[in-house]
């Protein structure tokens, strides 16, 4: 079976004439690195303690049924990523050694084929040992010297089979259910990466081109954005925007005009296309309410103008729902929230901004070097995937294989 030609030249030649005419720089495939969420980076080894008991196999079901009648449902279900019942041979080596050497009965249970089983009762901090002992004493086969111990266990589910195996060796038999409670589902990340990997370099190159142009003209920092719509293999560019923070104002301080960041300009251009599709006239430039136009959302470069004149390919959806955003630099917190509020589908950026970026979850200035004379930016926000926000998306860092030159900027700048 012939493999499809995945060379960037072939992929570019399959795009429409507008895209081919815009791409003037050399294009080369890069590498997509999915971002980690704040929970994936910080809750990796959060542990708590649970109470366990042991009982003959024939007494396990009566014991569990008794627990269901006396404990709330959420406690009975406990931590679903841990095996509720475990054979003595399945325990981690350190627990086997501990329990086997405690009593003669323990040695007997852990020697040869055992008809005993260990059972997780629930989190130690919400259980009463006295009540548990009294209840278990009524179960046939457990009465007498009832075994109850406290052991540490991971309180969050594993995010891979490897992690589950490691926890099974170090804590308690653990199950990987092919999900990710701390971030996007692995299959979603894999599927999304495969969907965009073959042509991501094209859109990143276009963002890079407008970034270089705006820097040369003195309009803004060398930062660019490209928004595309992907539908059944066909890609349409919806917006192309460069940073314009210095346009129509003197470059007197580091911030510039925050409303003219590349991301905000690109999203605004998408919005204008939607309004235009509804046949509503918009003209914000003729009657400015300030000495200069704060929202520099009209095209200022020829490439921007060429894309701006095209109609939106899907004008019925909500703003940026389902669209993909390619950026030269990690967006600042303001732009990151704008991305979420616009319901963007995917985001890819090239350069991390470890002091000011809003998408990465790594501690700022720790995993990425911060200037010696500047304090680091604290903890990363990881805004692309937060439980407390009402929108989440998949995001990647894109690494060039060499053809796209870096666009270095002051790390204290908000992109």
pLDDT, one tens digit for every residue, the chain (415 residues): 445 667 889 999 999 999 999 999 889 999 999 999 998 887 556 789 999 999 999 988 998 888 888 777 777 666 889 999 999 999 999 999 999 999 888 898 888 778 999 999 988 988 888 988 888 888 888 877 899 999 999 988 887 889 899 999 999 999 998 877 788 988 899 999 999 999 999 999 999 999 999 999 999 999 999 999 999 889 999 999 999 999 877 776 668 899 999 999 999 999 999 988 886 545 544 454 445 577 788 999 999 999 999 999 988 888 999 999 999 999 999 999 999 999 999 999 999 999 999 999 988 764 444 444 444 556 789 999 998 998 999 999 999 987 788 898 988 899 9
Strands 30-34, 394-400: pairing is antiparallel
**12 vs 104: CA distance, rounded Å:** 74
User: Which residue in 79, 111, 81, 113 sits closest to 96, CA to CA?
Assistant: 111
**16 vs 12: CA distance, rounded Å:** 9
| Alpha helices, DSSP H, located in 224-344 | 262-277, 302-308, 333-341
CA 141, distance to chain mean position in Å, is 49
User: What is the CA angle 261-263-264, rounded to 5?
Assistant: 70
User: Which residue in 215, 219, 207 sits closest to 349, CA to CA?
Assistant: 207
CA 401, distance to chain mean position in Å, is 23
The helix/strand/coil state of 397 is strand
| Alpha helices, DSSP H, located in 372-413 | none
Residue written as token pair 């060796």: 169
**202 vs 207: CA distance, rounded Å:** 9
């Amino acid at each position: 079976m012939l493999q499809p030609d995945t060379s960037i030249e072939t992929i570019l030649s399959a795009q429409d004439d507008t895209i081919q005419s815009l791409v003037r720089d050399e294009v080369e495939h890069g590498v997509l690195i999915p971002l980690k969420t704040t929970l994936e980076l910080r809750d990796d080894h959060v542990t708590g303690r649970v109470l366990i008991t042991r009982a003959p196999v024939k007494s396990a079901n009566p014991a569990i049924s008794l627990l269901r009648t006396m404990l709330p449902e959420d406690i009975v279900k406990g931590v679903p990523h841990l095996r509720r019942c475990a054979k003595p041979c399945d325990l981690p080596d350190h627990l086997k050694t501990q329990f086997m050497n405690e009593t003669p009965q323990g040695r007997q249970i852990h020697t040869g084929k055992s008809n005993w089983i260990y059972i997780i009762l629930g989190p130690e901090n919400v259980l009463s040992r006295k009540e548990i002992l009294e209840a278990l004493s009524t179960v046939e086969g457990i009465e007498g010297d009832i075994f109850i111990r406290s052991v540490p266990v991971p309180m969050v589910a594993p995010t891979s089979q490897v992690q589950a195996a490691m926890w099974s060796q170090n804590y308690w038999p653990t199950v990987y259910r092919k999900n990710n409670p701390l971030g996007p589902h692995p299959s979603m990340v894999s599927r999304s990466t495969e969907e965009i990997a073959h042509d991501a370099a094209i859109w990143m190159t276009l963002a890079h081109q407008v970034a270089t142009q705006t820097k040369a003209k003195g309009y803004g920092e060398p930062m660019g954005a490209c928004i595309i719509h992907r539908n059944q293999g066909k890609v349409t560019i919806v917006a192309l925007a460069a940073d314009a923070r210095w346009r129509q104002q003197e470059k007197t301080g580091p911030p510039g005009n925050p409303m003219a960041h590349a991301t905000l300009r690109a999203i605004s251009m998408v919005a204008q296309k939607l309004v235009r599709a509804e046949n509503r006239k918009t003209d914000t430039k003729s009657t400015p309410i300030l000495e200069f136009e704060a929202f520099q959302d009209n095209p200022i470069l020829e490439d921007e103008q060429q894309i701006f004149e095209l109609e939106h390919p899907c004008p019925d959806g909500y703003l940026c729902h389902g669209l993909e955003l390619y950026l030269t630099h990690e967006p600042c917190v303001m732009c990151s929230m704008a991305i979420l509020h616009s319901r963007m589908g995917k985001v890819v950026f090239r350069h991390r901004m470890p002091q000011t970026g809003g998408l990465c979850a790594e501690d700022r200035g720790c995993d990425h070097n911060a200037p010696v004379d500047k304090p680091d930016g604290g903890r990363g926000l990881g805004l692309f995937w937060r439980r407390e926000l009402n929108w989440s998306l998949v995001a990647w860092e894109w690494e060039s294989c060499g053809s796209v030159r870096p666009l270095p900027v002051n790390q204290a700048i908000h992109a």
